[in-house]
Structure 1
Amino acid sequence: MKETLIKYIPKKAIPLVEYLINKHQVNLKIVSQRQTKHGDFRRMPDGRMLITVNNNLNHYQFLLTLIHEIAHHVTHQKFGRVQPHGKEWKTVFQHLMLPFLEPEIYPTQILPYLANYLKNPKASTDTDVNLSLALRNGKAEPGKIFIFEVPNGNVFQFKNRLYKRGNKRRTRYECLNLTNKRVYLFNQNAEVLLIQ
């Protein structure tokens, strides 16, 4: 397991992650990138619990996603069926993440955002714009930009569909789908392809 983990998480986190995987008998599968999620936890038909994490995440995103999913597993073991991101999961996730809040694991430019996010963790780290940007080192994937960088009124491509960026609401951008003329709300750190 160590040989696999070293490719995906910070080196100093490996002993802690190995301990959690062994203690909770985690079945981990690293999968190709999925558009809608970084990872997931599910019960298999044979009763085993499976955690999957996308292989395209950087070390810091991968570690956070893995602990997020292990927290689902531990919550299921302790409480049975509860709200997926309810108070039980939040408490377990916070508890599991505490040992990783070290500058030897997460750089000091990420730690304050991570600590703030963990006060009341949400279903997706991407909903916390500051943390999401810090985890990505402020950079979108090569060839893409963040939606907040798209000038108002400009056209961009997202999942092979064209949109026109509109106004910002409180935390999201209104964007007009140029095919069906419906308005969609985009998270402010969505990565898109700007159309010139």
Structure 2
Amino acid sequence: MQILYKHIPKKAVPLVEYLIIEHKINLKIVNQRHTKHGDFRTFPNGSTQITVNNNLNEHQFLLTLIHEVSHHVTHKKFGRVQPHGKEWKTVFQHLMLPFLQPEIYPQNVLPHLANYLKNPKASTDADVNLSLALRGGMAETGKSFIFELPKGSVFQFKSKLYKRGIKRRTRYECLNLANKRVYLFNQNVEVLLVE
């Protein structure tokens, strides 16, 4: 449990310890994965495992951990249901409620987090305002958010080059320069500006 102090806000540790013990959580902290922050798995022998990326800041880590614990609790309570369906949403909202306090989440994050929890999505990155607040409004060093780039900019994402196009409702059209196909990117995706 001591390792939790390195990954989540100190005031959240007793609540998280309780959840881990109460639900017999097998938690594994793993190296960064580019496609997800965490996951929940069940194995053929009936055991379960939650993994969370080690590169997340303490507020992202906590939210991701509770997201995954909610999958575990939903699985135990309801069996096989939609991964982010109404059962999971209800459990997630219930488990996150005790963490919605200024001793755990900063004042600039709390309103976005409360709004997100009204109807949580599969990924916190789907909520641009929450995602930016959790990151402190700053992209990783050396990178930029897509919304910060001028139209026509060339950027690198996962070793591929793209040209930023127009904004649709919430996403940007980006042309893959190799295959000439257009892809939609969330506005808060972090990319490396090339030109």
TM-score under structure 1 normalisation? 0.99
Please show how residues 105-184 of structure 1 align to structure 2 within 5 Å. 105-184=104-183
RMSD: 0.5
CA–CA distance in 2 between the matches of 1:55 and 1:45? Answer: 26
Structure 1: 5+ residue stretches without partners: none
CA–CA distance in 2 between the matches of 1:48 and 1:14? Answer: 24
CA–CA distance in 1 between the matches of 2:167 and 2:5? Answer: 40
CA–CA distance in 2 between the matches of 1:115 and 1:154? Answer: 35
| Paired letter, 2:97 | L
CA–CA distance in 2 between the matches of 1:66 and 1:94? Answer: 13
Match of 1:95 in 2: 94
| Paired letter, 2:9 | P
CA–CA distance in 2 between the matches of 1:111 and 1:48? Answer: 34
Q: Deviations over 1:106-164 (max 9, x none)?
A: 01110000000000000000000000000000001110000001110110000000000
Alignment coverage as a number of residue pairs: 195
Q: Deviations over 1:30-73 (max 9, x none)?
A: 00000100000001233211000000000000000000000000
| Paired letter, 2:10 | K
CA–CA distance in 2 between the matches of 1:35 and 1:86? Answer: 24
TM-score under structure 2 normalisation? 0.99
CA–CA distance in 2 between the matches of 1:28 and 1:142? Answer: 29
The DSSP-based 3-state class of the residue aligned with 2:112 is: helix
Match of 1:65 in 2: 64
CA–CA distance in 2 between the matches of 1:35 and 1:44? Answer: 23
The DSSP-based 3-state class of the residue aligned with 2:73 is: helix
| Paired letter, 1:86 | G
| Paired letter, 1:168 | K
CA–CA distance in 1 between the matches of 2:123 and 2:5? Answer: 24
Please show how residues 2-21 of structure 1 align to structure 2 within 5 Å. 3-21=2-20
Structure 2: 5+ residue stretches without partners: none
Match of 1:38 in 2: 37
